[in-house]
C-alpha cells in the first residue's frame, strides 16, 4: 500500500499491486444460508466453501500469491534428496533471519509436533504469552502443560496499548521462581498473537525475554507464523524501528531466539512450515524427527513447488508495501464497526478484525457459546465465514468441566491481498444490521463433541429456533436482496 493525498486532502492507502487472477464468488439467499449453517452443525469449519461468499475463516494457505511466486513454482526441483529447491529456500531463510539451519515441515503444527517431541517432557511446563490451539494440544499430548504469561492488557478487549501481546516480565520471573529451570520446557513467544486478537509484540519485549532466557538458561522459541503483521507494527508503533530496514529487524530476531518456527501457510504466503536455529546442538536434537514424521530433510512433507513459492514469499515479506495491506484492512473494518458502536478488539491488530461476542451477545450466557452463536449469525446475515475464537476453541479441563475462554471473539480474518474495500463495506453493513438485531441471536449446544480440538469437527444445535426469526427479520428489512 502507498498512502497518497487526495485533492480533498484525505490521506488514502492505495494498493501497490493489481489483481491478475480472480475466483468467482457466490452469495446464496438468506434462507439457503440458514440451511447450510444448520447442515454444518453451526460450526463454520464444516461449511462448504461453495456456500460461502466471503471466506474470512483464516488467512492460512489462502493468501494471494505474487506473479513471481507462481513463476518460481515452475522451476522446482523434484529430487527426493538434495533438491536444489531446498537449498534455495534455505538460503532465503538464512538471508531473512540470519540463522544457520532450516528444518522443513509440512505446516506450522508439524513444527510444533517436532518441538514437543524434542523438548517437552512429562510434567514440564511451557511458558508462553498465549497459547495457540494446536500448540497447546501437541504440548499436552506430549505430557506437558501450558502456562500463559501475557501482559494483563492482552486479555482486555479494549485498550490503547500498542503491544498487548507482550510477555509480562514480572509473570515470567514469578513462573521461573515457582517452577525452576528444570521444570520449564521452553519459553514460547507468539509474534504476533492469534487467539487474543492478532495483538503484536514489541522488539523491546523480544529483547527482554531473550536476555532473561539467556541468563537463566531457558530455551527461547519464537512462533513467527504471524510475523508479517507483527513487523508492520514494530515499524509503525515502535519509534526506534521507524527507519530500520525490515531485514535488520528479522535478523535481530534470528539472533535473539534459540529457535524460530513458522507456518508458511501464513508467513511467506505459500503452504508449508519450517524450524530455524543457529545451534548445532538444537539442530541435531530435532533433525532425526523430520524424516520420521515429515519426509526427507530436504522437503519435510512439502511440495517442492510450494517451497519455491515460499522462498520468494519470504523475500517479499521484507517489502513494506506487501506486509502493510492486512493491518490497514483490519483497521479499516474495525473503524467501520467502531463508528457504528459495534464492539471489537482494540487497538486493531493483525490477522483479522475481531468482534467482541461477550458484548455483542451479552444477553447470552457463556455456556451457550456466545462467539460460536455470533459466527453462525454472521454467516446467516452476510454469507461471511468467520472463525469462533472463544470457549468452543478451548479444551475441557481434565475433570470434564468447561474451560471458559478469557475472551469470546469472532475473528474475521483477512487473507493477504484477497478482498476489496467494497467487500469490507458490505461486511460492515450486514454486521451493523446484525448488531441492531442482536437480541434475536440465540445460544448453541453441542450434539457431537470430540475430545480433542473439538472446534474442528464438533456439531451443535441452535436453542429455541432463533435462526428462523433472524431470517424472517432479514427478509422484512432487506426485501428480496441477497
Ligand atoms: N502458530 C500460530 C500462531 C498459528 O496462527 C497457526 C495456525 C499455527 C501455529 C499452526 O500452523 O495451521 O500451518 O499448522 N493458524 C491458523 C489460523 C490455522 O487459522 O489462525 P498450521
pLDDT of residue 415: 97
pLDDT of 460 reads: 98
By C-alpha distance, which of 325, 123, 115, 302 is closest to 221? 115
Q: Is the pLDDT of residue 323 over 90?
A: yes
Ligand 1 binding pocket (C-beta < 6 A) is: 58, 60, 107-109, 132, 134, 190, 194, 223, 225-226, 263, 265, 273
**Average of pLDDT values for 330-348?**
97
Report residue 358 as a C-alpha cell.
461477550
**Which one of the listed residues 223, 229, 258, 356 is annotated catalytic?**
223
CA–CA distance, 220 with 351 (Å, rounded to integer):
24
CATH class of the domain whose range is 2-59+323-478: alpha beta
Q: What is the chain's mean pLDDT, rounded?
A: 97
Order of all β-strands in the sheet with 273-277:
101-105, 273-277, 259-263, 220-223, 184-190, 125-128, 145-148
pLDDT per residue as tens digits for the range 414-441? 999 999 989 999 999 999 999 999 999 9
Model confidence over 207-233: pLDDT tens digits? 999 999 999 999 999 999 999 999 999
Atom of ligand 1 nearest to the CA of 135: 9
Q: Whose CA is nearest to atom 5 of ligand 1?
A: 194
* 94-115 per-position pLDDT tens digit: 999 999 999 999 999 999 999 9
Cell numbers at 80, concatenated: 527426493
Q: Catalytic residue, from 45, 95, 117, 133: name it.
A: 133
Tell me how far CA of residue 135 lies from CA of 65, 85, 140, 146, 218, in angstroms.
27, 28, 9, 9, 18
SS3 for 320-349 is HHHHCHHHHHHHHHHHHHHHCCCCECCCCC
Residue 455: per-residue pLDDT:
94
Measured from the Cα of 193, ligand 1's closest atom is: 3
Q: Ligand 1 mean position to 190 CA, how many Å?
A: 11
Q: How far apart are CA 366 and CA 347, in angstroms?
A: 24
Residue with CA closest to ligand 1 atom 12: 108
User: Which of 194, 273, 302 most suits a substitution to test ligand 1, by most atoms within 8 Å of the C-beta?
Assistant: 194
* Nearest residue (CA) to ligand 1, atom 9: 108
**Sorting pLDDT into bands at 50, 70 and 90, what band is 31?**
very high
Q: What is the pLDDT of residue 461?
A: 98
Per-residue confidence band for 297, with pLDDT thresholds at 50, 70 and 90: very high
* Residue 337 pLDDT grade (very low, low, confident, very high; cuts 50, 70, 90): very high
Q: Whose CA is nearest to atom 16 of ligand 1?
A: 60
Phi, psi of 274 (to 5 degrees): -170, 155
* Mutational test site, ligand 1, from 59, 134, 310, 375, max ligand atoms within 8 Å of CB: 134
SS (H, E, C) 269-302: CCCCEEEEECCHHHHHHHHCHHHHHCCCCCCCCC
The distance in angstroms from the start CA to the end CA of the chain is 31
Query: Which one of the listed residues 68, 80, 248, 280 is annotated catalytic?
Result: 80
How close is the Cα of 177 to the center of ligand 1, in Å?
Answer: 31
pTM (two decimals)? 0.96
- What is the average pLDDT across 159-185? 97
Domain boundaries, the chain: 2-59+323-478, 67-318
Q: Which residues pair with 263 in a beta bridge?
A: 273
Orientation of helix 30-39 relative to helix 466-478, angle to 10°:
160
**Residue 109: its pLDDT value, please?**
98
Rounded to the nearest 5°, which phi and psi values hold at 105? Answer: -150, 160
User: What local confidence, expressed as pLDDT, does residue 395 receive?
Assistant: 86
120-167 pLDDT per residue, tens = 999 999 999 999 999 999 999 999 999 999 999 999 999 999 999 999
Which residue's alpha carbon is nearest to atom 4 within ligand 1? Answer: 225
Of 33, 34, 136, 266, the catalytic one is 266
Mutation probe of ligand 1 site: the residue of 44, 59, 60, 313 with most atoms within 8 A of C-beta: 60
Name the residue among 24, 107, 21 with its Cα closest to residue 64: 21
- Binned at pLDDT 50, 70 and 90, residue 447 comes out as very high
Residue corresponding to grid cell 510477555: 167
Provide CB contacts within 8 A for 281, sequence distance 6+. none
452 has pLDDT over 90: no
Q: Which of 57, 105, 132, when mutated, tests ligand 1's pocket best, judged by the most ligand atoms within 8 Å of its CB?
A: 132
Sign of CA dihedral 406, 410, 416, 420: negative
Q: Please tell me the predicted confidence (pLDDT) of residue 342.
A: 98
Active site residue 223: yes
CA of 200 to the centre of ligand 1 (A): 16
**What CATH code is assigned to 67-318?**
3.40.640.10
Amino acid at each position: 500500500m502507498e498512502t497518497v493525498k487526495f485533492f480533498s486532502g484525505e490521506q488514502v492507502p492505495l494498493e501497490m499491486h493489481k489483481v491478475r487472477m480472480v475466483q468467482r464468488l457466490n452469495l446464496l439467499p438468506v434462507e439457503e444460508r440458514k440451511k447450510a449453517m444448520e447442515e454444518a452443525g453451526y460450526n463454520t469449519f464444516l461449511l462448504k466453501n461453495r456456500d460461502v461468499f466471503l471466506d474470512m475463516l483464516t488467512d492460512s494457505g489462502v493468501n494471494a500469491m505474487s506473479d513471481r511466486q507462481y513463476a518460481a513454482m515452475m522451476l522446482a526441483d523434484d529430487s527426493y534428496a538434495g533438491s536444489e529447491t531446498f537449498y534455495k529456500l534455505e538460503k532465503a531463510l538464512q538471508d531473512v533471519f540470519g540463522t544457520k539451519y532450516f528444518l522443513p515441515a509440512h505446516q506450522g503444527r508439524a513444527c510444533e509436533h517436532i518441538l514437543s517431541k524434542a523438548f517437552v517432557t512429562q510434567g514440564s511446563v511451557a511458558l508462553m504469552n498465549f497459547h495457540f490451539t494446536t500448540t497447546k494440544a501437541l504440548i499436552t499430548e506430549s505430557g506437558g502443560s501450558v502456562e500463559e504469561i501475557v501482559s494483563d492488557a492482552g486479555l482486555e478487549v479494549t485498550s490503547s496499548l500498542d503491544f498487548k501481546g507482550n510477555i509480562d516480565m514480572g509473570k515470567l520471573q514469578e513462573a521461573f521462581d515457582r517452577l525452576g529451570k528444570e521444570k520449564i520446557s521452553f519459553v514460547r513467544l507468539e509474534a504476533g498473537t492469534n487467539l487474543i486478537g492478532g495483538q503484536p509484540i514489541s522488539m523491546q519485549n523480544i529483547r527482554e525475554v531473550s536476555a532473561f532466557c539467556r541468563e537463566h538458561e531457558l530455551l527461547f522459541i519464537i512462533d513467527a507464523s504471524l510475523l508479517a503483521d507483527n513487523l508492520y507494527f514494530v515499524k509503525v508503533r515502535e519509534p526506534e524501528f521507524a527507519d530500520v530496514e525490515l531485514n535488520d529487524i528479522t535478523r535481530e530476531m534470528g539472533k535473539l531466539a534459540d529457535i524460530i518456527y513458522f507456518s508458511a501457510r501464513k508467513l511467506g504466503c505459500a503452504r508449508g512450515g519450517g524450524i530455524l536455529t543457529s545451534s548445532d546442538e538444537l539442530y541435531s536434537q530435532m533433525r532425526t524427527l523430520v524424516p520420521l514424521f515429515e519426509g526427507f530433510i530436504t522437503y519435510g512433507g512439502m511440495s517442492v513447488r510450494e517451497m519455491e513459492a515460499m522462498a520468494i514469499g519470504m523475500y517479499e515479506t521484507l517489502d513494506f508495501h506487501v506486509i502493510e495491506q492486512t493491518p490497514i484492512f483490519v483497521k479499516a473494518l474495525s473503524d467501520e464497526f467502531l463508528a457504528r458502536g459495534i464492539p471489537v478488539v482494540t487497538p486493531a491488530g493483525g490477522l483479522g478484525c475481531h468482534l467482541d461476542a461477550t458484548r455483542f451477545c451479552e444477553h447470552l450466557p457463556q455456556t451457550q457459546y456466545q462467539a460460536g452463536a455470533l459466527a453462525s449469525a454472521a454467516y446467516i446475515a452476510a454469507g461471511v465465514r468467520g472463525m469462533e475464537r472463544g470457549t468452543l476453541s478451548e479444551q475441557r479441563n481434565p475433570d470434564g468441566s468447561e474451560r471458559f475462554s478469557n475472551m469470546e471473539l469472532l475473528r474475521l480474518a483477512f487473507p493477504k491481498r484477497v478482498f476489496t474495500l467494497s467487500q469490507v463495506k458490505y461486511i460492515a453493513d450486514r454486521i451493523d444490521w446484525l448488531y441492531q438485531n442482536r437480541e434475536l441471536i440465540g445460544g448453541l449446544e453441542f450434539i457431537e463433541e470430540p475430545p480433542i480440538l473439538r472446534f474442528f469437527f464438533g456439531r451443535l444445535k441452535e436453542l429455541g429456533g432463533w435462526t428462523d426469526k433472524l431470517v424472517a427479520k432479514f427478509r422484512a428489512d432487506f426485501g428480496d436482496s441477497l
